[in-house]
Amino acid sequence: MANNQIRTRAKSIFPTVLLTLLSIVQALALELLWLHLIDQPELYVASFAAALGWIQIVATLLGILLIWLVYSDLVLRLSWLPHTADALFPFFVGILQFAQISVLGPERIGVWFVILGTLFAAMAWIGQTTMKRARRDEDNRDFFQGINPATWRDHLLSALPAVLLMLAGLGIWMTGNQGWFAMVVLAGAVGLLLLQIWLSHFYVQRSYAN
């Protein structure tokens, strides 16, 4: 009886704890991004490098928003018994975000792409790990009804954006190419982030409709 009460309490309180922790991490990331904006006067001089820098900033901001959406969608749509790792994941994501913001700028854009790809991989892994845990919980039976477990093809599809971003970042890092190739890859990253935000919105609205 006591164990059931603890399980119920943990499942009911954890979403609030998780989102509170994540909101603190994301607020710190936004603060670091704002400090970068006011500490980089070259961003306000018309140039190719400035344009590259601003698109990079937009992509970083979209990444912050996407991480918040992914986590908030998980706790709104699913219920699961939390694991210690669930409380540690936001710190790991936050470290990656802080590292990404610390290397903002055209001169280190290759490293920035590698970290972005790592973030994509981390969020895909966190999402899949949480889904597997939630599938085992009877409270989510209706949600998973008619949804087959992820296959290796699904994992490959999730990993593809991360791999492409990492490879592009390594190529830019090793060659020092900070020209149009970097701009094209950066525009693709922005498009990918916007697509992920739209997909998050689409799946949540579909869940509400069901």
Least Cα distance to 151 among 131, 172, 178, 179 occurs for 131
CB 130 within 8 Å of CB 80: yes
pLDDT at 208: 65
**Residue 168 pLDDT > 60:** yes
Residue 1: CB atoms within 10 A of its CB come to 5
- For 10, the token pair is 């943990």
The pair of three-digit structure tokens given for residue 156, joined into one six-digit string: 């490959």
pLDDT tens digit string along 54-97?
999 999 999 999 999 988 888 888 888 888 888 899 999 999 99
Q: How far apart are CA 204 and CA 206, in angstroms?
A: 5
Question: pLDDT for 108-163, tens place per residue?
Answer: 899 999 999 999 999 888 888 888 888 887 877 777 776 777 676 766 777 888 88
Higher pLDDT, 36 or 7: 36
